[in-house]
Copies of this chain bind each other. A is one copy, B any other.
Amino acid sequence: MLAGGVGAARLLAGLVQVLPPSEVTAVVNTGDDLIMHGLYIAPDLDTVTYTLAGANNPETGWGLVGETWQAMGSLDRYGGDTWFNLGDVDLGTHLYRTGRLASGAGLAAVTAEVAAGWGLESTLLPMTEDRVVTKVTLADDGGLGNEVDFQEYFVRLRHDVPVSSVRFDGAEASLPGPGVLEAIAGADLVVVAPSNPIVSIGPLLAVPGIADAIRARRDDTVAVSPIIAGAALKGPADRLMRELGHEVSVGGVARMYRDITSCLIIDSVDTDLAGAVEAEGMACVITDTVMSSPEVATDLARTVLKQTRE
């Protein structure tokens, strides 16, 4: 699975209910990663890890259940930056990752160690071990400068400002992470998660080699639409698509993915738009895609797996 954060994590949690977890590999976006207070923070990798471990906070969609916030309270005492909330348990992950990276370990190895710490049997691969940073250009300078890092846009500005462009700094010179191309080439089925096409899947496709690898598997690649009834369930996918000139519909999603996938799974509320998907040269599968419970996620995972060619 090509994975961003919350939506991908929920579908992965469904997949490991219907497949042996060891047969599931996620290639995860690292364009959102940030260095803050000296720590290397990988939000999408952590969301996927914590969710597969059953340790995620289902209310917030990010972070850990039973989390505490002592360090943030202390940081606040000094007037430090607290807009990116870091829970105490979560901090342990960032401390470990940062320490390991500083000692020369690669992000892929550290990701595997963190996953093993939670007892995960699935494989989580960072899309790259190079630094690729999603940069968002704001239509109006919001006081932070015209171009901001993704988390400043997403968290600090609550993605509540117009965007004029998005780029993936460092992507051109980056290499796919260890195992990424092999995982795509060897998969029975490649799944594009219902993640934000622009800022979650976009960075993966910007790493040279990954889009080509998926294109070569187009007949075995299925995407789940993150757009339902013309809107995103969560986050700024709809707004970003509109602002960057895409049609905010399952047809618009099909147009973005038609080169890399042969099938789009859409929600039943969009049944009457199946023709628009097929008009892009893709098969269209209709099912419930709103993963409001683990059961729906498991059912969606089953539908996804049914697209595997014999």
**Chain A residues packing against B (C-beta within 8 Å):** 36-40, 68, 70-81, 86-93, 95-96, 98-102, 113-114, 117-118
Q: List 14 A-B contacts (CB under 8 A).
A: A37-B95, A37-B99, A39-B98, A70-B70, A70-B87, A71-B88, A71-B91, A74-B90, A74-B91, A74-B92, A77-B118, A78-B114, A88-B88, A88-B91
What residues of B have a CB within 8 angstroms of the CB of A95 in the complex? 37-39, 71, 74-75, 80, 86
* Alpha-carbon distance between A16 and B69 when the two chains are bound, in angstroms: 32
Q: Which of B38, B70, B100, B102 contacts A92 (CB 8 A)?
A: B70
* Copy count, this protein chain: 2
Residue of B nearest to A88 (CB): B70
Residue of B nearest to A77 (CB): B117
Q: Which 3 A-B pairs have the closest CB atoms?
A: A74-B92, A70-B88, A38-B98
Contacting pair B99 A71 (CB below 8 A): no
State the Cβ distance, A47 to closest chain B Cβ, in Å: 16
Residue of B nearest to A113 (CB): B78
Residue of B nearest to A110 (CB): B78
What residues of B have a CB within 8 angstroms of the CB of A73 in the complex? 89, 92
What residues of B have a CB within 8 angstroms of the CB of A90 in the complex? 74
Residue of B nearest to A118 (CB): B77
What residues of B have a CB within 8 angstroms of the CB of A93 in the complex? 74, 78
* Alpha-carbon distance between A76 and B77 when the two chains are bound, in angstroms: 27
Contacting pair B118 A92 (CB below 8 A): no
5 additional contacts (CB under 8 A) given A74-B90, A74-B96, A80-B96:
A38-B40, A39-B39, A39-B95, A70-B91, A91-B91
* Alpha-carbon distance between A227 and B213 when the two chains are bound, in angstroms: 70
State the Cβ distance, A237 to closest chain B Cβ, in Å: 31
Contacting pair A99 B113 (CB below 8 A): no
* Alpha-carbon distance between A36 and B70 when the two chains are bound, in angstroms: 19
Q: Which of B77, B81, B99, B118 contacts A38 (CB 8 A)?
A: B99
What residues of B have a CB within 8 angstroms of the CB of A68 in the complex? 68, 70, 88
What residues of B have a CB within 8 angstroms of the CB of A37 in the complex? 39, 95-96, 98-99, 102
